[in-house]
Structure 1
Amino acid sequence: MSLTRSSALAEADIHDILRNDRRRRVLEHLQESMGSVTLRELAETIAAHEAGESPPPRPLRESVYNSLHQTHLPKLDAEGVVDYDKNRKTVELQPGARDVNVYMEVVTKYGITWADYYRSLATLSLVVVVAAEIDVPLLEALPVLLVASAFLAVIAASTAYQLWTRRWTYLRSLLR
Structure 2
Amino acid sequence: MLSNRRRRWVLHYLKRTDEERVELRTLVDSVSSWEYDVPADELPWKKRKRVYTALRQSHLPKLDDAGAIEYDQTRGVVELTDEAAELQMYLEYVPADDIPWSEVYLGLAGIGVVLTVLARYAIFPFVELGGTALAAIFVAMFGVTAFVHTCYAHRNRIGRGEPPR
Q: TM-score if structure 2 supplies the norm length?
A: 0.66
Secondary structure of the residue that 1:83 maps to in structure 2?
A: strand
1:82 corresponds in structure 2 to 69
Against the structure 1 CA distance between its residues 29 and 58, is the aligned structure 2 distance closer, same or farther, given a 3 Å change threshold? Answer: same
- Superposed displacement of residue 132, structure 1: 0.8
Against the structure 1 CA distance between its residues 150 and 34, is the aligned structure 2 distance closer, same or farther, given a 3 Å change threshold? Answer: farther
2:31 corresponds in structure 1 to 46
1:57 corresponds in structure 2 to 43
Against the structure 1 CA distance between its residues 27 and 95, is the aligned structure 2 distance closer, same or farther, given a 3 Å change threshold? Answer: same
Is 1:134–1:140's contact at 8 Å kept on the other side of the alignment? Answer: no
1:10 corresponds in structure 2 to none
Against the structure 1 CA distance between its residues 35 and 121, is the aligned structure 2 distance closer, same or farther, given a 3 Å change threshold? Answer: farther
1:6 corresponds in structure 2 to none
| Two-structure CA RMSD over aligned residues (Å) | 3.4
Structure 1: distance between partners of 2:12 and 2:152: 19
Higher relative contact order (CA 8 A, sep 6+): 2
Structure 2: distance between partners of 1:138 and 1:45: 60
Identity rate of aligned residues, in percent? Answer: 26
- Structure with larger Rg: 2
Unmatched 5+ stretches in structure 1: 1-16, 171-176
- Superposed displacement of residue 122, structure 1: 2.2
Matching residue within 9, 14, 17 for 1:30: 14
Against the structure 1 CA distance between its residues 138 and 65, is the aligned structure 2 distance closer, same or farther, given a 3 Å change threshold? Answer: farther
Structure 2: distance between partners of 1:139 and 1:93: 58
Against the structure 1 CA distance between its residues 140 and 48, is the aligned structure 2 distance closer, same or farther, given a 3 Å change threshold? Answer: farther
Unmatched 5+ stretches in structure 2: none
Against the structure 1 CA distance between its residues 74 and 108, is the aligned structure 2 distance closer, same or farther, given a 3 Å change threshold? Answer: closer
Question: Is 1:92 the counterpart of 2:80 in the alignment?
Answer: yes
Letter in 2 for 1:95: E
The alignment of Structure 1 onto Structure 2 pairs a total of residues equal to: 149
